[in-house]
């Protein structure tokens, strides 16, 4: 599903965010991406979302080299990826429902299907009753779950999350992880960036470890 | 497609409501541009009709030499009968000319009478067929008439009309350039206002890009906003012009009709108005597209 070949990402400031990182993730796998702050986890996720391109090396997802996509293909690729951002990236003036169905609605999905999909996704994250709330009326944890629901609504092939439990208490974190496992059980490839060691141990899944932009372990 | 249109226009209306103060500038500039363009069209439409009537009625006046004989008159008459482009001609004797002068300008009648002898020469009034080759036909005819040796002078009023037409065409071009400059100003204002709106919504647009919204859905609201601003401006301009036109016609319409011999003073035809609105929509849409054009 994901093939990273000698990925390097340098910034103009001279910072080396990633240095010669190579790894692979199989279709349907559940993988944790971990490492201390500044390890390059968020950079790698940005590359996987095609919000950035590597300075050198190749990143191939589902057979497509992300650096070679044109702007329209980039948007189509992003629609095939469910991404949960660390800062949620919800549109404040839109309701939970409108945030969740925004892209499918623009793609012409009929309204009754949108409602069904949104209700289903919100039920999975335990927020079915907050359909008409505005993001600012929700707690940080609730906003995070709305972001997860938005990522789920498009039924993605690849599910990526950047510190998805950062704003959740331990009980909710475990619930969220249980949700990610059920997403993975449907055949979706899941890659979660987190520095929560306890959570990683609890789930016992494969871990890719980065430190100072270098791959330390990918077992 | 319908979902995209609905989304684009609802987002555009929301944006206009949020930032109506800046949108007013774009609206005023567009209104001014369309008023200038529509006024130029309106004046041109009515003046063209005046000139068309004058052109259709254009005449040559052929003055015979003082004391020209009946034989000379017959020679000139024969030339006129044979000539191309002459629809009719009429002989005006010196007596008829004096009588017409006394009727048309009664205050000068005593002056003509006091001269003792009739100062007016015999003449032919020649009506020419309208058409693009009228000028050439008139020139050929003038040469043929002069060659008879019986003609003192030939006056051709079409030259005056043609000069006026040239002046009108020039005025139309100046009006067109002015309207073009104002239209450019309107485009730049709309683009700037929409660019401000783009910056205000930058975070939201970034989110849309990151979650995979198609580029047309991101640009759509800006195109729709440009279209709404431009069409509103054009509609306002045409409404203002229509009110001004009705007021003018109520006060001065009859004077203009009498002065120029028009059947009526006309406002812009519905098709022209529709054309102006569509052109404004196109220009506004392009301005919106330019404001939102960013490849990521």
Task: Pull the structure tokens for residue B232.
Answer: 């509103």
- Optimal mutation site among A42, A73, A106, interface B, most CBs of chain B within 10 A: A106
CB contact under 8 A, B213 and A83: no
CB contact under 8 A, B3 and A108: yes
Could you report the per-residue pLDDT of B207-266, keeping only the tens digit for each? 988 888 888 888 999 999 999 999 999 999 999 999 999 999 888 888 888 777 677 888
Residues 6+ apart with CB under 8 A from B176: B37, B40
Chain A stretch 85-144, residues whose beta carbon is closer than 8 A to a beta carbon of chain B: 85, 89-91, 102-103, 105-108
Give B296's Cβ-side CA count (13 Å radius).
22
**What pLDDT is stored for residue A189 in this prediction?**
93
If one compares B149 and B59, the residue with the highest pLDDT of the two is: B149
Q: In the predicted model, is pLDDT for residue B288 greater than 70?
A: yes
Chain A stretch 37-56, residues whose beta carbon is closer than 8 A to a beta carbon of chain B: 49, 51
Kindly state the average pLDDT of the residues B169-189.
82
Of B281, B279, B276, B280, the C-alpha closest to B42 is B276
**What pLDDT is stored for residue B166 in this prediction?**
80
Could you report the per-residue pLDDT of B12-44, keeping only the tens digit for each? 888 888 888 878 888 888 888 888 888 888 888
Give B34's Cβ-side CA count (13 Å radius).
34
Q: How many CB pairs under 8 A join A and B?
A: 56
Give A89's Cβ-side CA count (13 Å radius).
23
Which residue carries 């189509």 as its tokens? A76
CB contact under 8 A, B214 and A75: yes
**What pLDDT is stored for residue A182 in this prediction?**
87
CA distance A117 to chain B (A): 17
Task: Decide: A207 and A158 in contact? Cβ < 8 Å.
Answer: no
Spell out the domain ranges in chain A: 1-80+188-219
If one compares B240 and B296, the residue with the highest pLDDT of the two is: B240
**What pLDDT is stored for residue B57 in this prediction?**
62
A37 phi, psi to nearest 5 deg: -60, 140
**What pLDDT is stored for residue B236 in this prediction?**
95
Average pLDDT, chain B: 84
Q: In the predicted model, is pLDDT for residue B175 greater than 70?
A: yes
Kindly state the average pLDDT of the residues B76-104.
86
Structural domains in chain B, sorted by start: 2-54+162-292 (no CATH), 59-156 (3.30.70.3040)
Query: Per-residue confidence at B133, pLDDT binned at 50, 70, 90?
Result: low
Poorest-pLDDT segment among A158-162, B141-145, B154-158, B176-180: B154-158
Q: Which residues of B touch A80 (CB under 8 A)?
A: 212
**What pLDDT is stored for residue B158 in this prediction?**
66
Q: In the predicted model, is pLDDT for residue B131 greater than 70?
A: no
ipTM of the complex as predicted: 0.85
Cβ–Cβ contact B81 with A under 8 A: no
Q: Which residues of B touch A102 (CB under 8 A)?
A: 208, 211, 213
CA–chain centroid gap for B269, Å, is: 13
Poorest-pLDDT segment among A60-64, A171-175, A182-186, B143-147: A171-175
- Optimal mutation site among B5, B210, B212, B214, interface A, most CBs of chain A within 10 A: B212
Chain B stretch 203-222, residues whose beta carbon is closer than 8 A to a beta carbon of chain A: 204, 206-215, 217
Q: Which residues of A touch B210 (CB under 8 A)?
A: 49, 51, 78, 83, 85, 89
> Which CATH class, in words, describes the domain spanning A1-80+188-219?
alpha beta
CB contact under 8 A, B3 and A79: no
If one compares B47 and A22, the residue with the highest pLDDT of the two is: A22
Percentage of chain A with pLDDT > 70?
100
**What pLDDT is stored for residue B95 in this prediction?**
86
CB contact under 8 A, A108 and B295: no
Average pLDDT, chain A: 87
If one compares B239 and B186, the residue with the highest pLDDT of the two is: B239
Could you report the per-residue pLDDT of A87-129, keeping only the tens digit for each? 889 999 899 999 999 888 888 888 888 899 999 889 988 888 8
- pTM equals 0.71
- C-beta contacts of A182-188 below 8 A and 24+ residues apart: A182/A124, A183/A152, A183/A159, A184/A28, A184/A29, A184/A30, A184/A159, A187/A27, A187/A28, A188/A28, A188/A82, A188/A156, A188/A157, A188/A158, A188/A159
Could you report the per-residue pLDDT of A70-86, keeping only the tens digit for each? 888 998 899 989 998 88
Poorest-pLDDT segment among A33-37, A172-176, A192-196: A172-176
Q: In the predicted model, is pLDDT for residue A167 greater than 80?
A: no
Beta bridge partners of A7: A21
Query: Per-residue confidence at B292, pLDDT binned at 50, 70, 90?
Result: confident
Of B55, B66, B57, B56, the C-alpha closest to B123 is B66
Query: Which residues in A144-157 are b (16+ Cβ under 10 Å) and which e?
Result: bbbbbbbbbbbebb
């Amino acid at each position: 599903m994901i093939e990273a070949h000698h990925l390097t990402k340098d910034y103009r400031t001279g910072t080396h965010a990633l240095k010669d990182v190579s790894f692979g993730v199989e279709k349907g796998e559940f993988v944790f991406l971990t490492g201390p702050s500044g390890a390059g986890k968020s950079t790698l996720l940005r590359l996987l979302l095609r919000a950035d391109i590597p300075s050198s090396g190749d990143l191939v997802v589902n057979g497509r080299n992300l650096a070679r996509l044109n702007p329209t293909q980039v948007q189509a690729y992003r629609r095939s990826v469910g991404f949960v951002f660390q800062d949620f990236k919800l549109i404040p003036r839109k309701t939970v429902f409108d945030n969740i169905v925004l892209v499918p609605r623009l793609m012409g999905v009929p309204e009754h299907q949108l409602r069904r999909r949104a209700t289903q996704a919100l039920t999975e994250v335990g927020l079915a009753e907050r359909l008409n709330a505005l993001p600012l009326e929700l707690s940080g944890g609730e906003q995070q779950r709305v972001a997860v629901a938005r990522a789920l609504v498009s039924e993605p092939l690849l599910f990526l999350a950047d510190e998805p439990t950062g704003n959740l208490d331990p009980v909710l974190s475990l619930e969220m992880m249980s949700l990610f496992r059920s997403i993975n059980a449907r055949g979706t490839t899941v890659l979660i960036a987190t520095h929560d060691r306890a959570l990683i141990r609890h789930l016992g899944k494969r871990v890719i470890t980065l430190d100072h932009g270098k791959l330390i372990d990918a077992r | 497609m319908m979902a995209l249109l609905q989304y684009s226009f609802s987002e555009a209306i929301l944006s206009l409501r949020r930032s109506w103060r800046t949108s007013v500038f774009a609206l005023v500039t567009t209104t001014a541009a369309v008023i200038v363009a529509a006024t130029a069209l309106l004046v041109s439409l009515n003046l063209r009709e005046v000139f068309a009537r004058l052109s259709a009625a254009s005449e040559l006046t052929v003055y015979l030499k003082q004391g020209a004989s009946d034989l000379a008159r017959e020679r000139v008459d024969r030339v006129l009968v044979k000539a191309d482009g002459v629809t009719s001609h009429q002989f005006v004797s010196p007596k008829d000319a004096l009588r017409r002068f006394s009727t048309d300008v009664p205050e000068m009648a005593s002056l003509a009478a006091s001269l003792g002898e009739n100062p007016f020469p015999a003449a032919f009034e020649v009506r020419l067929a309208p058409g693009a080759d009228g000028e050439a036909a008139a020139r050929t005819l003038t040469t043929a008439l002069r060659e008879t040796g019986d003609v003192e002078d030939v006056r051709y009023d079409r030259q005056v009309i043609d000069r006026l037409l040239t002046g009108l065409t020039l005025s139309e071009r100046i009006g067109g350039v002015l309207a073009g400059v104002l239209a450019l100003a309107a485009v730049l204002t709309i683009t700037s206002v929409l660019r401000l709106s783009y910056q205000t919504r930058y975070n939201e647009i970034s989110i849309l890009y990151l979650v995979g919204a198609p580029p047309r859905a991101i640009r759509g609201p800006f195109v729709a906003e440009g279209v709404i601003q431009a069409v509103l401006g054009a509609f306002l301009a045409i409404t203002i012009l229509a009110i001004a036109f009705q007021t003018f016609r109520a006060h001065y319409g009859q004077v203009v009709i009498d002065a120029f011999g028009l059947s009526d003073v006309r406002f812009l035809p519905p098709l022209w108005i529709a054309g102006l609105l569509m052109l404004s929509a196109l220009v506004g849409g392009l301005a919106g597209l330019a404001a939102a054009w960013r490849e990521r």
